[in-house]
Amino acid sequence: MPKRLLRVLVVDDSVLYRKVLSDVLSNIPGVEVVGTATDGKVALAKISQLKPDMLTLDFDMPELDGLEVLEHVRIDHPDLKVVMVSAHTKEGAAITLKALELGALTFITKPKTENPIESKNILLDQLVPVVKEIIAQIQLPQYLVSQDRTISQPAVSDAATGKLTSAPGAGRIQIIAIGISTGGPKALAELIPFLPEDLRIPVVIVQHMPSEFTAALAESLDQKSALNVIEAENSMELKRGTVFIAPGGKQMKVVQASGKIMLEVNDDPPENHCQPSVDYLFRSISKVYGKHALGIIMTGMGSDGVLGLRLMKRLGAQVIAQDKQTCVVFGMPGEAINAGVVDLVVPLRHIAAEIVHRVGV
């Protein structure tokens, strides 16, 4: 029996974008575009009628805007996978982050080019991995992870009491390095604000996002957190109690120069199709900090971060992975667990407590 196709509803008030997105999606194997909607009110009616698996959703629409539609979907259709379609603007980035916190799976960005062929190719590159992940989640729910993983240094989390027992390494932790992708903004909003103001070490983060969006993410997290959260810039000195987010469209690494540890932000090429790349950052962490680092791999598609974590582990660093149940996508943590480079797997709600435990705040 052939596999059921992924049913997609395209929602956009622009005739052009409804056409473009429908054409692009129809050319992805395994996808069936079951309809389009011109505004949020029509979209909600068609969701009930057509029963799509996935929704591409624009923000600025008459009747009901994208955020209002998302609120209804979250309540009435919680299993529907929503992919926001965002503009490359500061306002678009801020609204996109709000949508991700409200439960949207991820987002794609409208191409800046006016060349129709180039525009379709850019959208195709963004949509293919998203579609593949959604198809995997719907048709093969156990495909990414089995229940009997081998953890290199076991630790136990007592979900009922919240008590954590672990086996931290011998090195005193001097930096926390986080790699995260799909589902990241929501997860970070549930992690960073729970880190204490007196955290004695810096935190560096690679979140896969375009350039306009990482600045908005830093601003949003900074408003929620006791720690200072900023988008990193080249030559910044790493300071205790500060969270540095790698800027989108750049690579970020830590370097040691003149007795100081600094951030280098540069235009090195993408790794794993990612810029910034988790592997790129983690590789530098292993070189500069060795056993004195704590690596954390969280929700996201793909395997970015595994190679960097392998280097970190060889030098004695500690590694935590977010568990499957609290990940939007278990790709990155699942790959790290499979590679045997993870010490501890915990739910999102326990990561902040585990960081405090290991750092010894």
pLDDT digits (tens, 9 = 90+) for 222-236: 999 999 999 999 999
Question: One of 157, 181, 284, 303 is an active-site residue; which one?
Answer: 181
Residue 259's pLDDT is what?
Answer: 86
Q: Is the pLDDT of residue 151 over 80?
A: no
**292 among known catalytic residues:** no
Residue bearing tokens 């229940």 = 147
Strands 242-245 and 251-257, by their bridges, are unpaired
* 113-117, 324-328, 352-356: the lowest-pLDDT one: 113-117
Q: Is the pLDDT of residue 163 over 50?
A: no
CA angle 194, 96, 75 (to 5 degrees): 80
Give 85: exposed, middle or buried? Use CB within 10 Å, 0-12, 13-18, 19+: buried
Q: In this structure, which CATH number among 3.40.50.970, 3.40.50.11740, 3.40.50.180, 3.40.50.720 belongs to the domain 156-359?
A: 3.40.50.180
Which residue spans of the chain are classified as CATH 3.40.50.180?
156-359
Question: One of 12, 13, 304, 343 is an active-site residue; which one?
Answer: 304
* 136 or 81: which leads in pLDDT: 81
Q: Is the pLDDT of residue 318 over 60?
A: yes
The first and second tokens of residue 52, run together, are: 């799509």
Res. 158 pLDDT band, cuts 50 70 90: very low
Residue 361's pLDDT is what?
Answer: 66
**350 among known catalytic residues:** no
pLDDT digits (tens, 9 = 90+) for 251-271: 999 999 888 999 999 999 999
Which residue spans of the chain are classified as CATH 3.40.50.2300?
6-139
Res. 145 pLDDT band, cuts 50 70 90: very low
Question: One of 22, 157, 208, 284 is an active-site residue; which one?
Answer: 208
Residue 9's pLDDT is what?
Answer: 98
% of the chain beyond a pLDDT of 70: 90
- Identify the CA nearest to 107 among candidates 184, 50, 38, 179: 184
Q: What is the CA radius of gyration of the chain?
A: 21
Residue 2's pLDDT is what?
Answer: 55
The first and second tokens of residue 188, run together, are: 């970070």
Residue 263 in 3-state DSSP?
strand
Q: Is the pLDDT of residue 94 over 80?
A: yes
Q: Is the pLDDT of residue 152 over 80?
A: no
DSSP state of 200: -
- Identify the CA nearest to 218 among candidates 92, 91, 94: 94
Query: Mean pLDDT, the chain, as a whole number?
Result: 89
CATH number of 6-139: 3.40.50.2300
pLDDT digits (tens, 9 = 90+) for 164-223: 333 444 579 999 999 999 999 999 999 999 999 999 999 999 999 998 899 999 999 999
Give 76: exposed, middle or buried? Use CB within 10 Å, 0-12, 13-18, 19+: exposed
Contacts with 147 (C-beta within 8 Å, 6 or more apart), sequence order: none
pLDDT digits (tens, 9 = 90+) for 6-45: 999 999 999 999 999 999 999 999 999 999 999 999 999 9
The first and second tokens of residue 219, run together, are: 């601003």
* 17 or 144: which leads in pLDDT: 17
**181 among known catalytic residues:** yes
Q: Is the pLDDT of residue 89 over 60?
A: yes
- d(CA 54, CA 20) in angstroms, rounded, equals 17
Q: Is the pLDDT of residue 118 over 50?
A: yes
